[in-house]
């Protein structure tokens, strides 16, 4: 019997960890954080969890990197005493993964204006589980907080950029919060970095919701949203920055940018000299301010090394309705852009290109501009093709077809001439270097068109002559006007 008891004891000791589970070894860099935890615990099991993600990150970094499992820290409030929630370490760079709850709110009450509520540092991952699954988990800057960003990446990582992975949560600035950078500030990322299923919302005035800049070489930002909630002076999405702060070869989209403050673009694209061209695609936007009738949906400024590409872009809501005169895309002088598959709505105005020799394209409501480029001479003809639809040609600066009843009558001798009163173009041209061809209709005796004169960007005249010794005239003219 004694031998049997000894055997049974050894069997239970060997079998128990497998049957009932066992805490991680102290040297394993996996620690738990819970609303019922304490920073005096060892963090090795859910029952001995830490109380704060800040303490967990410090422990895991000291162990050389690992995971902080905060999936049961549903609600958490932190102030300057606890400091910001950092994930990983700036230097030496240490990889840490932070697992977030599927729902709940972390209330950030930091002040001072220099810290992020949550900062993803080199090689870190911040993983949530709330992508479209019920109530999203929120990291929130409370109304009296003053921070650089609500959620951001390292602005000056060792080596100039880094690799991160962020997904599945929302960042929010409450009304009254001061955010000098952005609610979600994505910057200084290398190739395979991924940011997806992230929502950036501001209820506070004069705030960038989503800011994506200085990311490089195939870094991916997808299924992201910037919402400015119509707050005064706030911008839903800002992409790129001046100087070397532009994105280089990044892939951004699908992206949703809604609710800009009155007078602000839904997307502000800022091109930088260090830019190598990025693709922004599958873009959905909304303008919810009925009083703003003219601010373009996308505003492009600055100049870059290589051209950016906008592909598949639509305006879902324009609260200005029939009063809207806004352009879908406004391209500043010296900015460079390729636009594909642009669905025009609202005012019917598509592109306003301020580069020399360019102009506007307005195909009308529900028109589609399939291909436009500021770069290639061929594609300056885009305005011609944008003017075509099933009902015929819509007059635009590139091509105009119209008739006019303006006329005159010559004297009664061979070679007598007369000139019509000024004829006004349906659409004003940018200068007087347009070409005019007019054919007379309804002739009296034997008139002939001898010349046309462009008197201004908006008006021209027609001169006719008599081929016989009888007064000659036309009742009307069919005219075609084109511009290079």
Segment 200-229 shows an average pLDDT of 95
Closest CA to 120 of 93, 138, 146: 93
Beginning with the edge strand found earlier in the chain, give each strand of the sheet holding 399-404 in spatial order. 399-404, 473-482, 435-444
Q: From the CB of residue 220, how many other CB atoms can be counted at a distance below 10 Å?
A: 16
3-state SS, residue 351: strand
Q: What angle do CA 236, 77, 124 make, to 5 degrees?
A: 65
How far is Cα 171 from Cα 268, in angstroms, rounded to an integer?
20
Question: What is the enclosing helix (H) or strand (E) of 475?
Answer: strand 473-482
pLDDT digits (tens, 9 = 90+) for 2-21: 554 444 444 344 434 433 44
pLDDT digit string, tens, across residues 173-195: 999 999 999 999 999 999 889 99
Q: Please tell me the pTM assigned to this model.
A: 0.76
With a cut of 60, say whether residue 133 has pLDDT above it.
no
Name which residue leads in pLDDT, 395 or 133.
395
Statement: residue 33 has pLDDT above 70: yes
- 129 confidence band (pLDDT: 50, 70, 90): confident
The model's confidence at residue 484, banded by pLDDT at 50, 70 and 90, is confident
Sequence-distant (6+) residues with CB within 8 A of 119 are 84, 85, 86, 87, 149, 151, 152, 153, 154
Please compute the mean of the pLDDT values over residues 351-371 and round it to a whole number.
91
Contacting residues for 19 by C-beta, under 8 A, at least 6 apart: none
Residue-level pLDDT at 149 = 98
């Amino acid at each position: 019997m004694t031998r049997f008891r000894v055997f049974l004891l050894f069997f239970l000791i060997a079998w128990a960890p497998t049957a009932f589970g066992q805490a991680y070894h102290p040297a394993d860099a996996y620690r738990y954080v819970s609303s019922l935890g304490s920073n005096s615990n060892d963090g090795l099991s859910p029952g001995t969890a830490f109380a704060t993600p800040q303490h967990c990150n410090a422990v895991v970094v000291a162990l050389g990197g690992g995971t902080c499992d905060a999936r049961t820290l549903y609600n958490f409030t932190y102030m300057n005493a606890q400091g910001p929630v950092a994930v990983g370490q700036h230097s030496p760079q240490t990889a840490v993964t932070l697992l977030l709850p599927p729902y709940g709110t972390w209330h950030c009450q930091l002040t001072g204006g220099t810290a992020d509520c949550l900062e993803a540092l080199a090689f870190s991952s911040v993983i949530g589980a709330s992508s479209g699954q019920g109530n999203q988990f929120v990291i929130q800057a409370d109304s009296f907080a003053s921070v650089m960003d609500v959620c951001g990446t390292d602005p000056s990582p060792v080596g100039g950029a880094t690799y991160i992975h962020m997904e599945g949560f929302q960042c929010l600035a409450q009304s009254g919060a001061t955010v000098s950078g952005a609610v979600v500030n994505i910057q200084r990322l290398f190739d395979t970095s991924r940011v997806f299923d992230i929502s950036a919302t501001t209820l506070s005035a004069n705030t960038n919701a989503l800011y994506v800049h200085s990311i490089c070489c195939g870094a991916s930002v997808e299924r992201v949203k910037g919402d400015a909630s119509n707050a005064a002076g706030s911008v839903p999405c800002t992409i790129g920055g001046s100087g070397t702060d532009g994105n280089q070869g990044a892939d951004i989209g699908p992206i949703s940018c809604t609710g800009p403050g009155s007078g602000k673009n839904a997307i502000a694209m800022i091109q930088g000299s260090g830019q190598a061209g990025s693709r922004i695609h599958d873009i959905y936007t909304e303008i919810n301010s009925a009083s703003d009738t003219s601010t373009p949906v996308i505003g492009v400024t600055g100049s870059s090394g290589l051209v950016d590409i906008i592909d598949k872009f639509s305006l879902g809501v324009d609260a200005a309705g029939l009063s809207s005169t806004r352009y879908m895309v406004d391209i500043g002088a010296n900015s460079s852009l390729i636009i594909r598959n642009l669905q025009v709505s609202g005012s019917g105005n598509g592109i306003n290109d301020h580069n020399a020799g360019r102009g506007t394209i307005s195909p009308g409501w529900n028109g589609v501009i399939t291909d436009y480029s500021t770069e290639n001479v061929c594609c300056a003809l885009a305005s011609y093709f944008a003017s075509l639809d099933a009902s015929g040609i819509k007059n635009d600066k590139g091509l105009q077809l119209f008739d006019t009843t303006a006329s005159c009558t010559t004297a009664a001798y061979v070679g007598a001439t007369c000139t019509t009163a000024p004829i006004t173009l349906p659409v004003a041209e940018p200068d007087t270097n347009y070409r005019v061809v007019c054919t007379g209709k309804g002739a009296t005796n034997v008139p002939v068109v001898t010349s046309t004169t462009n008197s201004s960007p908006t008006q021209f005249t027609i001169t006719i002559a008599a081929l016989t010794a009888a007064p000659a005239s036309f009742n009307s003219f069919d005219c075609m006007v084109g511009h290079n």
